[in-house]
Amino acid sequence: MKTSNLFLRSFILLLVLVSVGFIWILLPFYGAIFWGAILAVIFTPVNRYLLGRFRGRRNLAAFTTLMIIILIVIIPLSLITGALVQEGIAVYKRIESGDLSLGLYFAQVVDALPPFVHDTLARFGLDNIFSIRERLSQALLQGSKVLATQAVSLGQNTFGFLISMAIMLYLLFFLLRDGSKLVAKSRQVIPLSSEHQQHLTRKFATVVRATVKGNIAVAVIQGALGGLIFWLLNIQAALLWAVIMAILSLLPAVGASLIWGPVAIYFLATGAIWQGVVLALFGVLVIGLIDNLLRPILVGKDTKLPDYVVLISTLGGLAVFGLNGFVIGPLLAALFMACWDLLPSAVRISQDWSGDDPTDTP
């Protein structure tokens, strides 16, 4: 008995060390691996449909699904990224040259406020417009420097980006082709009952599809609509603002209004009344309603996390994992809640297996 226990412990230690080493060598490409897995989960229904149409030819079905992903996801995203990099660098140059000043725009809004507002600001010690203006200008300049640095870094690391893209597409093909076998094999090594495994597997797939298909689709639509109205109102860098609004739309409650709201206020305060009214109405009635109309359809009420959980997990995911965190954060939060939901039944099953009576007291 002691020999068998020693062997098992030694094997588990070896398994842990080998697993840590394997994960360590995969870390440089974790983004490519992560998005390959995410896209495989999202497009599995498409691959399954094509598999039936192609009479079980898995290679052909996986290759066709991969081509669909490249056409509707990879190519459009690459074109938008290239245009965004150019626009971001142009904005940075305008800020650095003084042609674009957030502090000046803020001062114009404050000057247009009625006298009683100025008196209220003075009563609370907020009348030092020059210090606030200087802070806003510094914040905008610092943010634009970060954006420009990332843009230049992206251009310099084109080779690494292409390598990561190739790895993702290569892995994606095999995940589409052999995904069902990999899931079945993974279930054999997970020490859970079949019922619990199926629940967690369904929860994982549902949350991934809901997060990407639902939240990202809503964010893209809101960002596109915001960029469209900015372009129609002749607001410079409309594409850049559209992407920022799309990212902010992942956050509940506030979202894209953090961008179009201040711009509408600026228009109204500086005498551009019709532009401010149009932007405010479009933001409230069109951009704002997209979330309420589309999210329940695309995400579904049974998978929707509470807004405060989405907000905290999204911000935490972005802080820890970078841009990938807007998917990883809500995904981990959903799996966390699913595992805790399963805890009572898991305890009951373990007691049944051990033959213990749950009513017994120590």
Look at residue 236 and tell me if it is in a domain: yes
360: exposed, middle or buried (Cβ count in 10 Å: 0-12, 13-18, 19+): exposed
256 and 118 in a common domain: no
Which of residues 178 and 10 earns the better pLDDT score? 178
53 and 167 in a common domain: yes
| 250: containing domain | 196-347
Look at residue 185 and tell me if it is in a domain: no
Which whole-number Å values give the CA distances from 167 to 26, 143, 174, 204, in the listed order? 11, 31, 11, 23
Do 313 and 330 meet the contact criterion of CB atoms below 8 Å apart?
Answer: yes
Q: pLDDT tier at 124 (50, 70, 90 boundaries)?
A: low
Look at residue 148 and tell me if it is in a domain: yes
117 and 42 in a common domain: yes
Look at residue 228 and tell me if it is in a domain: yes
CB-based contacts of 260: which residues, under 8 Å, 6+ apart? 226, 229, 230, 245, 279, 280, 282, 283, 287
231 and 340 in a common domain: yes
Which of residues 213 and 168 earns the better pLDDT score? 168
* pLDDT (tens digit per residue) in 233-282: 888 778 878 888 887 777 766 678 888 888 888 788 777 888 888 988 98
323 and 217 in a common domain: yes
152 and 223 in a common domain: no
Of 141, 287, 294, 291, the residue nearest 227 (C-alpha): 287
202 and 252 in a common domain: yes
Look at residue 4 and tell me if it is in a domain: no
Provide the pLDDT for residue 65: 93
Tokens of 245: 């609004």
What CA–CA distance (Å, rounded) separates 250 from 291?
10
Provide the pLDDT for residue 357: 47
Which of residues 38 and 334 earns the better pLDDT score? 38
What CA–CA distance (Å, rounded) separates 131 from 122?
14
Which of residues 329 and 119 earns the better pLDDT score? 329
213 and 156 in a common domain: no
Which of residues 63 and 342 earns the better pLDDT score? 63
148 and 32 in a common domain: yes
* Number of domains forming the structure of the chain: 2
167 and 201 in a common domain: no
40 and 159 in a common domain: yes
152 and 62 in a common domain: yes
100-127 mean pLDDT: 60
Q: Is residue 303 pLDDT above 90, yes or no?
A: no
What CA–CA distance (Å, rounded) separates 39 from 66?
10
What CA–CA distance (Å, rounded) separates 82 from 225?
20
Q: pTM, whole model, 2 decimals?
A: 0.68
Q: Is residue 196 pLDDT above 80, yes or no?
A: no
Q: Is residue 343 pLDDT above 60, yes or no?
A: yes
Q: pLDDT tier at 68 (50, 70, 90 boundaries)?
A: very high
